[in-house]
Structure 1
């Protein structure tokens, strides 16, 4: 009986493992899930780590423009990793965009994160760059909305991931 796990590992574990070394980790945006096995095979053959990712626009609660919800994407990536024997990878939520920063959007973002955590995501990138205040009188005022939304969502992710 094979008890080996081919599930994703924490992105922070991968990044900590290469800290201080001359190394890179590829982040593969797998809009077409059928290419995942090739990416995993190349990662395994070169003893490399890889982040498998989709952005919010590509994979949201309704499937985004790829048609893949977080659960569907996670399931497809786990199946491809198992088929190739690749076990050094992270499931990454790329560009969790926050464009308005209002209460409804923050609540919707939290719902998406809940689905991503349930689907086994191990890495998250928050993108609140749209909240730049062009009328700000200094850098702090310009970035205030971005900082507030990013901090709120980062704390929520930490809580949902239990640390």
Structure 2
């Protein structure tokens, strides 16, 4: 008899992403685990859920809006409200939302193929994660004028 152990591989994320949204990291890795174990519907739903959590966690820290206000946005409205001025973040998150909805909702397109949809979701999720990471890096630079005590303006 062969014993099969779960695939426990996880994706590592930049510490800035981990600090901004630990729940995103957990959800993303749960979706990845579901995908690796053949639970494609759960994976698609999980990637979509992780997107919403990352958007809202980022917004909570950087938008100035309260948790109560942010929690009232559905995913579509959160994308429109918080990402409207960032073409890469807006477009990539909208693709993940739309393709993720096909895993989440009962009615699917006639041409739905789970594996190809997951591939699209993960590609655009990577674009979105990178756009959030850029925002986090700009908001938390390791150096810059605020970090220098040198008054010589070198």
Do they superpose with TM above 0.5?
A: no
Considering fraction of residues, name the structure with more strand. 1
Instruction: State TM-score, norm by structure 2.
Output: 0.26
**Larger Cα-atom Rg:** 2
